[in-house]
Amino acid sequence: MNKITIITAGIALLLGSCGNSEKAYDATGTFEATEVTVSAKATGELVSFDVTEGKTLNADQQVGSIDAKKLILQSQQLETTSDGLSADRAALEANRAATDSKILDSERQIAVIRQQISNAKRERQRFEELVRDGAAPRKQVDDIDQQIRVLERQLAATREQLRSANESLRQQSRGLEAQKKSIDAKRAGIGVQREQVNENINDTRITAPIRGTVLEKYAERGEFVNIGKPLFKIADVERMYLRAYVTSGQLASVKVGQEVTVFADFGKDNRKAYKGTVSWISDRSEFTPKTILTDDERADLVYAVKILVKNDGVIKIGMYGEVKF
């Protein structure tokens, strides 16, 4: 009975040894993350800067600001100027309306005189018929003729006076319209300047472009910074990528979207398995990096692949990893 047990154990050990001869991975690589270096968009003193290495920030979270006092004053000055121009434009509108009203009144005066002449002519015709019938004296017709002559002279004089006055009023109206257009052009220019200044004010706000962890900090509060100066580096460590390399032979069995098993290597045979998804496969081959081992060590040309892994906080940037397709 003991002999059978020993023989069985030996066979199991032999099978286990044969099974362990197969590699537990198909390719190796290192973990990386999406890193973004945030730089200053404005020039000035860092009046606030709440950034520490290792701190987790949300996307669009404000973490600091650059002195914007001069820009704010400039924006306020432009706003005051714009309000003044708006008041000037309103005054011009009122003046132009008054001028147009005067022109209209002049035209109404001429219309009134014309109507009076028309009424007098009708009256004359009526009395002319009465005179022919002997029902009215001739003097009444003569008086109406005199009235018509007076009205016609008055109409001619009024036309001449109003023509001169209206021409002056029309020139004034055109001048007011030109001034209004000039003010509108100035207001439009100031509007553009205000947009630029407000954009510059917005650039003094320092925000996190993505949700992630601060890797490095390059500036301190109180420092004077110029546009383009790096302030801090942030990385999305919740979504890590294992960059591995496969041979052309392995490439046929790897597809984007494929689910694979990824192992994080902590050293001394300490490994942890994660679910991963192939997110990218390079379209170009390259020579095998010296730091990367592939399934076929004789291969000179390999293809880079990226495997997306959801990090539980254990995987670190630069850590070695393995992938089983």
pLDDT tens digits, residue range 182-194? 888 888 898 899 9
Closest of 262, 268, 271 to residue 244, by C-alpha: 262
Q: How many Cβ atoms sit within 10 Å of the Cβ of residue 174?
A: 12
pLDDT of residue 20: 45
For the chain, the structural domain boundaries read 23-67+213-324, 69-201
User: What is the percent of the chain with per-residue pLDDT over 90, rounded to a whole number?
Assistant: 46
CATH number of this structure's domain 69-201:
1.10.287.1490
Burial tier of 264 (Cβ tally within 10 Å: 0-12, 13-18, 19+): buried
Fold of the CATH domain 23-67+213-324 = Elongation Factor Tu (Ef-tu); domain 3 (2.40.30)
Query: Taking 70 as the threshold, does the pLDDT of residue 292 lie above it?
Result: no
- With CA atoms as reference, report the closest residue to 253 among 274, 233, 278, 276: 278
DSSP summary character for residue 40: -
Place 202 in a pLDDT band, splitting at 50, 70 and 90: very high
What confidence category does residue 19 fall into, taking pLDDT thresholds of 50, 70 and 90? very low
Helices (H), 204-284: 248-251
Q: What is the mean pLDDT of residues 12-36?
A: 69
pLDDT band per the 50, 70, 90 thresholds, residue 2: very low
